[in-house]
Structure 1
């Protein structure tokens, strides 16, 4: 147990440049507290002591601002940065080395039964305010941009941004697990720029046609 707790704190030092001392991380990082509370709640949940499990998860939510359903399955070295407003649903499955920022929702899309929450594979990064909804899979080393809404599967080594989420990088170099989650391409802005370029070209063509017609009229 203590090895796992130390491993969790080591991840904080790897991911958060503001972390200074173990005692500071141990006492003040709500993401760690929510993960540790979840492990206790999940143990009760697996023993079918659902009421006790939910009480523990709700107490943790009250103190940390992070809601993790006790039924969720979470791997090792899971890092929640800041964490306020993070929601993780009951049938969510999270792999190892996953990073989640504040305001992220890993939720369902309705009242369906069975597997209704996302599966997040190893080394994925979910940026601030992203909403991943339904029984979909976020691939290994995938990166979801801030504020994105993802409703479909995301392949491995892929970057997705926008509403709804659009793939902007795939089958390239492996996505780095760093904190530069704001440096992600904007497909909407790129499309607008492309449309503006086409408009400029059309205007140039129209100007040429008008000039040509004017020359013909003058010659007549």
Structure 2
């Protein structure tokens, strides 16, 4: 019934409401942003921090189970972050720049093998394809493109196209602006 109501949204407000209610990628990112807000609120007021943290944890649990997406509040993610398909996305305490596009089944976080306890740092304007795995203390340069299924354990230079297991640079000076779409100005 809700879907039929949303499909018939004719007013600008109705279309916006339909978008907010039906966009699961937006739900996941909004939950992450609220979690970051709860962390900041906790630094100013223990009570407010507690209340907002409880709300966030309940919301995050719901998002994790409903949408199969888990973004840690300890990740630092810039503006313009876009989940193209949220299913299977796991983001640990990484640093992610602005205008980054991430597809489904991507894992970004700490590597547990080889004593590498560091976290990834992803630059601005990066496109990450489905099934990519990015772990450890590595740096992905601005404008880089990570192909579907790539497993990265080494640094990636700016504007490089990386593919394979393990990930290797297959093209230098690769222009990913068309893949990022309207995010890049």
2:91 and 2:99 map into 1 onto residues whose CA distance is 16
Secondary structure in 2 aligned to 1:45?
helix
**Alpha-carbon spacing, 1:28–1:109, altered in 2? closer, same or farther (3 Å):** same
Runs of 4+ in 1 over 6 A off after TM superposition: 111-115
Tell me what 1:138 maps to: 140
**Alpha-carbon spacing, 1:177–1:123, altered in 2? closer, same or farther (3 Å):** farther
CA-atom RMSD, angstroms?
Answer: 2.7
* Structure showing greater Rg: 1
1:124 and 1:174 map into 2 onto residues whose CA distance is 10
Tell me what 2:34 maps to: 40
Tell me what 1:174 maps to: 175
Tell me what 2:23 maps to: 29
**For residues 127-156 of structure 1, what are the alpha-carbon distances to aligned partners after superposition, in whole Å with 9 as ceiling and x for unaligned?**
000000112111101000000100011110
TM-score (ref. length: structure 2)? 0.75
Q: Is the 8 A contact 1:41 1:56 kept in 2?
A: no
Q: Is the 8 A contact 1:29 1:82 kept in 2?
A: no
**For residues 175-194 of structure 1, what are the alpha-carbon distances to aligned partners after superposition, in whole Å with 9 as ceiling and x for unaligned?**
324179xxxxxxxxxxxxxx
Aligned length: 158
1:31 and 1:131 map into 2 onto residues whose CA distance is 19
Secondary structure in 1 aligned to 2:161?
strand
2:115 and 2:155 map into 1 onto residues whose CA distance is 19
Q: How does 1:1-220 map to 2 (within 5 A)?
A: 22-46=16-40, 47=42, 52=54, 53-90=56-93, 92-110=94-112, 116-170=118-172, 172-178=173-179
2:157 and 2:29 map into 1 onto residues whose CA distance is 27
Q: Is the 8 A contact 2:110 2:117 kept in 1?
A: no
